[in-house]
Structure 1
Amino acid sequence: MVVPLLASVNGARSAADGPAVPVSPADLAGSALTAVAAGAGEVLVHPRTPCGRESLSPRVVGPVLEELRGAGVGVPLAVSASIAAEPDPAGRLERVRSWTVLPDRAVVDFAEPGAEELARVLLGRGVAVDAVVPLGGPAGPDPMARFLAWPVREPGRVRLVAELASADPALVAGLRGLPPVAVVLFGREAAAWPVLRLAVRCGTGLRIGVGDVLHLPDGRPARSNAELVAVARVVVREAAAAATAGSR
């Protein structure tokens, strides 16, 4: 299964992180449009209240999705469903059940409590699930064990999104024995670009954007999500060309 490049357009960041971070629904829509024009095939947003707090309220999630779709963002849209938006596991379920406008996908962190039930509720509502599992960091092996123990009955609607602490091939060696689900690899900050290159070599899905990294591979500050996506496309082409040359 071919997974397009996923643009994480705001993540846990705020306006205090710099001008490249879109905050308002209109800014998110504009940033998403330019990221798609640069080559992103999917968009991930963290919906926020006017005061900047992440939220899963239908009064927040719905207008953000409507703004993006109304602006012409025609690729699949994902939202984050994490404890940052709703700390109480039962509260997250209640929020998701009350959504009136649905995203195409939702990101569920399997290092957080209640992930399995949240993922089931999302699938029941017709929302595909990106199951985030951190690898190589302080979370340890439990999130992966929880994902593997979770009865994934709809592999076409579930992806494993592995967050790598570093571009260590040993971290992904065990992914070969996973259930038949698509895999996306990504890293944050200093790990973002090395992990993206590793993902190209592994043939998995890719993720990049202001939500994950604020700098280009050469250390310069990124001006926008579109610039990050455009540079990622160059990195992908160069890595593919190098692999082709190496196989001759």
Structure 2
Amino acid sequence: MRPGPVLSASLNGARSAADGPAVPMSPADLADSAVAAVAAGAGEVLVHPRTPCGRESLSPRVVGPLLEALRGAGVGVPLAVSVSVGAEPDPAGRLERVRSWTVLPDRAAVHFAEPGAEELARALLGRGVAVDAVVPLGGPAGPDPMARFLAWPVREPGRVRLVAELASADPALVAGLRGLPPVAVLLFGREAAAWPVLRLAARCGTSARTGVGDVLHLPDGRRARSNAELVAAAREAVRKAAAAATAGSR
């Protein structure tokens, strides 16, 4: 049985301190932000680990202390780490980093538009880390990332989730997911697509994602002050969209 829909919070993404005070950077700030986001309703937390100078990193000396800070702060929901070229451009380097981790996240986001994704996903599963296979849909990346995911043998469907980044809230993009392996699905968008895609996810009954890693503004256009504020707004948007979908099906 697939798990029910969850709301994931992308705490920092590829943002930097230049994006404003709502973006947490240090382990302490990320821990505080995670605690508040979970209190607001997030069922998962996604982080991009960073060195003290703000550079993304997959080093065990960066990933381990961050995960320990999050768990030490009482964050009891699954913790996910992004494993991408933003942190380590070389595919072999990413593999080496993942294999050297001494503290493991619950999940890892593997981008199937990037080289070496299949081997990286296998290595993570081999270490007991669930895989979020990130696939862009409807954007300039084209169908190749999805084709790569579909060609990758999903031997542990209960530990793999398709995370589809939609360029727009186009129902046709979601309709194309019906022939997938029996894996859970999370839909998300960035910036202008973030809120329409979140509402589409609610109507489709899939998991969804929000947070300053994806969007800096609330549905009414105001700049968000925190991840918790975005999560609270997302929960309300999901509730309304799901209720509208239920009413429309009667």
Q: TM-score w.r.t. structure 1 length?
A: 0.97
| Post-superposition offset of 1:90 | 0.2
User: In the aligned structure 2, how far is the partner of 1:168 from the partner of 1:17?
Assistant: 28
| Post-superposition offset of 1:162 | 0.2
| Post-superposition offset of 1:247 | 2.9
- Can you list the C-alpha shifts for 1:19-67, whole angstroms capped at 9, x where unaligned? 1000000000000000000000000000000000000000000000000
User: In the aligned structure 2, how far is the partner of 1:232 from the partner of 1:206?
Assistant: 9
| Post-superposition offset of 1:101 | 0.1
> Pairwise mapping of residues 83-98 of structure 1 onto structure 2 (< 5 A)?
83-98=85-100
Pair 1:5-2:29 in alignment: no
User: In the aligned structure 2, how far is the partner of 1:174 from the partner of 1:168?
Assistant: 11
| Post-superposition offset of 1:129 | 0.2
| Post-superposition offset of 1:239 | 1.2
Partner-residue secondary structure (3-state), 2:177: helix
User: In the aligned structure 2, how far is the partner of 1:236 from the partner of 1:169?
Assistant: 16
RMSD: 0.7
- The match for 2:175 is 173
- Can you list the C-alpha shifts for 1:159-208, whole angstroms capped at 9, x where unaligned? 00000000011111110110000000000000000000010111111111
Partner-residue secondary structure (3-state), 2:178: helix
Conserved 8 A contact 1:135-1:163:
yes
- Can you list the C-alpha shifts for 1:83-121, whole angstroms capped at 9, x where unaligned? 000000000000000000000000000000000000000
> Pairwise mapping of residues 1-248 of structure 1 onto structure 2 (< 5 A)?
4-6=5-7, 7-248=9-250
- Where in structure 1 are there 5+ consecutive unaligned residues? none
Regions of 4+ moved over 4 Å? none
User: In the aligned structure 2, how far is the partner of 1:242 from the partner of 1:203?
Assistant: 12
- Where in structure 2 are there 5+ consecutive unaligned residues? none
Partner-residue secondary structure (3-state), 1:177: coil
| Post-superposition offset of 1:240 | 1.9
User: In the aligned structure 2, how far is the partner of 1:217 from the partner of 1:11?
Assistant: 19
| Post-superposition offset of 1:236 | 1.1
| Post-superposition offset of 1:245 | 2.3
Conserved 8 A contact 1:134-1:165:
yes
Q: Kindly, what percent of the aligned residue pairs are identical?
A: 90
| Post-superposition offset of 1:241 | 1.9
User: In the aligned structure 1, how far is the partner of 2:38 from the partner of 2:158?
Assistant: 23
Aligned length: 245
User: In the aligned structure 1, how far is the partner of 2:144 from the partner of 2:246?
Assistant: 37
User: In the aligned structure 1, how far is the partner of 2:58 from the partner of 2:186?
Assistant: 24
- Can you list the C-alpha shifts for 1:213-247, whole angstroms capped at 9, x where unaligned? 00001110001000000001101111122123223
Moved more, 16-25 or 235-244: 235-244
| Post-superposition offset of 1:81 | 0.3
User: In the aligned structure 1, how far is the partner of 2:48 from the partner of 2:40?
Assistant: 21
| Post-superposition offset of 1:126 | 0.3
Partner-residue secondary structure (3-state), 1:107: strand
User: In the aligned structure 2, how far is the partner of 1:223 from the partner of 1:193?
Assistant: 16
Conserved 8 A contact 1:25-1:64:
yes
User: In the aligned structure 1, how far is the partner of 2:74 from the partner of 2:185?
Assistant: 27
Conserved 8 A contact 1:5-1:39:
no
